[in-house]
């Protein structure tokens, strides 16, 4: 009886993880930072914070592949920029993964909360950001953008949830629209996910049952989310970007300090 009950509870938990992965990926594939939804919920379901972060990386693989397909098919990917950023994302993912392996669990939630608070401020600073593409970008902005993207890649490798930051940088410093941001960052993000999974699997901190469920659910959610974003356009994604940033900041701040 106890064994049967445990099996039922495990199946229910995996079903909840599937639902979490699916709906969070709809947000992640459009505006980003869905890690801030999944990771706290995975922890609430009983996973240690480090295991939750590591297992979450598995789901990101198929999500990014689907994103590359959907946004690439509609020519919303700046391939040249995307492959340039791969270099920095790869190095940052290695550094970030090493940081996660040595970081204190109690710090993770507070780091995420502070990061989200900054995101909310950034989203409210520019009213028309990401709606129209900027054709001419100065070399200074490009340099600053690459440096900031590299720093974010370290944070992404350690925890994740940098999508909103990446979107802001790509729109502000590289002049991309929101749809181009969503598509272009898929290329370096895929490399980051693959690198992190390789490192975390070597150190045996991935829960593969959870990871595989997230892989499937996020892939399906990414397809739905990208389809919706491409249909609705940049203005819709911008509104979603701001809404998600505000909601996530409130939720994560609350969860981190109660």
Pick from 41, 12, 28, 67: which is nearest to 252 by CA?
41
Could you tell me the two tokens for 100? 């996660």
The predicted pLDDT at position 242 comes to: 76
Kindly state the tokens that stand for 119: 């995101």
Q: What is the pLDDT of residue 223?
A: 96
Mean pLDDT of 41-64: 89
Which tokens belong to 75?
């020519």
pLDDT tens by residue, 107-118: 666 666 676 667
Helix, strand, coil distribution of the chain in percent, nearest 5: 80, 0, 20
* 181-222 pLDDT, tens digit each: 999 999 999 998 999 999 999 989 999 999 999 999 999 999
Alpha-carbon torsion (73, 79, 85, 90), positive or negative = positive
What is the C-alpha separation between 241 and 71, in angstroms, rounded?
Answer: 17
Q: What percent of the chain has pLDDT over 90?
A: 31
Would you say 224 and 26 are in contact if contact means Cβ atoms under 8 Å apart? Answer: yes
User: Across all residues in the chain, what is the average pLDDT?
Assistant: 83
Residues 62, 222 contacting (CB under 8 angstroms): yes
- Write the DSSP assignment of 163-202 as a string of letters: HHHHHHHHHHTS---HHHHHHHTHHHHHHHHHHHHHHHHH
Res 10 pLDDT > 80: no
């Amino acid at each position: 009886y106890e064994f049967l009950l445990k099996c039922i509870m495990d199946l229910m938990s995996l079903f909840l993880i599937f639902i979490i992965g699916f709906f969070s990926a709809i947000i992640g594939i459009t505006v980003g930072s869905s890690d801030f939804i999944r990771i706290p919920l995975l922890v609430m379901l009983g996973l240690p914070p480090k295991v939750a972060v590591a297992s979450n990386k598995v789901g990101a693989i198929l999500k990014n592949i689907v994103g590359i397909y959907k946004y690439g098919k509609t020519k919303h990917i700046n391939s040249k920029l995307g492959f340039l950023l791969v270099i920095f994302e790869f190095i940052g993912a290695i550094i970030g993964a090493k940081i996660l392996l040595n970081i204190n669990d109690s710090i993770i939630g507070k780091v995420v909360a502070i990061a989200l608070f900054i995101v909310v401020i950034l989203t409210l600073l520019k009213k028309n950001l990401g709606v129209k593409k900027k054709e001419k970008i100065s070399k200074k902005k490009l340099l600053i953008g690459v440096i900031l993207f590299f720093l974010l890649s370290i944070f992404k490798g350690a925890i994740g949830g940098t999508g909103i930051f990446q979107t802001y940088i790509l729109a502000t410093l590289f002049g991309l629209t929101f749809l181009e941001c969503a598509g272009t960052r898929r290329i370096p993000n895929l490399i980051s996910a693959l690198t992190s999974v390789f490192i975390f699997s070597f150190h045996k901190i991935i829960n593969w049952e959870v990871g595989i469920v997230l892989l499937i659910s996020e892939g399906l959610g990414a397809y739905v989310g990208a389809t919706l974003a491409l249909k609705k356009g940049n203005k819709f994604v911008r509104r979603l970007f701001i809404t998600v940033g505000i909601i996530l900041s409130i939720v994560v701040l609350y969860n981190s300090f109660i």
